Structure 1
């Protein structure tokens, strides 16, 4: 695992995210590890740049991971680093 770039705070997940991961035999930890080490998944260049700035500016950090052809998982760390949530995009 690479170096952690920021704190995750309390880790939570929505029922929808947990069901999606279970359906695809995945666990939240693999995506949390990617997220905290700067592998933000499938984001456009502007969102990647915003995340890299957010690490140092104390803003919200968003990752988006493709789980299947139709399913995505989002991982969002709040600006104050008090919590990180795994959720589906439609649950935002």
Structure 2
């Protein structure tokens, strides 16, 4: 898995992927975006939402990233405030 090649900015905890994401997004793209998330590349977020994530790194709040697959499928990666779990889901799964 790609995650072993660098030091993440925060712990991901248990990684959970919804069935809808597994069905619609290739595994390699999920892994690539998970790596980006852990490195602090928040994907397709507004500048304001990116600032919220940067603050969450300092304060221990929930972190949200948004990405699109090569097929245009939008999906989110959310790491819980306590860093116990990271969930990869479609917006409609929320």
1:10 correspondence with 2:9: no
* TM-score, structure 2 normalization: 0.86
Unaligned stretches of 5+ in structure 1?
Answer: none
Normalising by structure 1, what TM-score?
0.88
Q: Which runs of 5+ in 2 are unaligned?
A: none
Report the CA distance between 1:28 and its aligned residue.
Answer: 2.3
Moved beyond 6 Å, runs of 4+? none
Query: Is the partner of 1:26 in helix, strand or coil?
Result: helix
CA distance in 2, matches of 1:14, 1:47: 23
Tell me, in whole angstroms, the C-alpha distance in 2 between the residues paired with 1:46 and 1:77: 18
More helix by percentage = 2
Deviations 1:50-70 (A, max 9, x none): 000101100000000011464
Mapped to 2, the partners of 1:67 and 1:74 lie a distance apart of 11
Give the length in aligned residue pairs. 90
The residue number in structure 1 matching 2:25 is 21
Over 3 Å counting, the alpha-carbon distance change for 1:49 and 1:2 in structure 2 is farther
Q: 1:17 to 1:63 in 2, by over 3 A?
A: same
1:86 matches 2:77: no
**2:50 matched to 1:48?**
yes
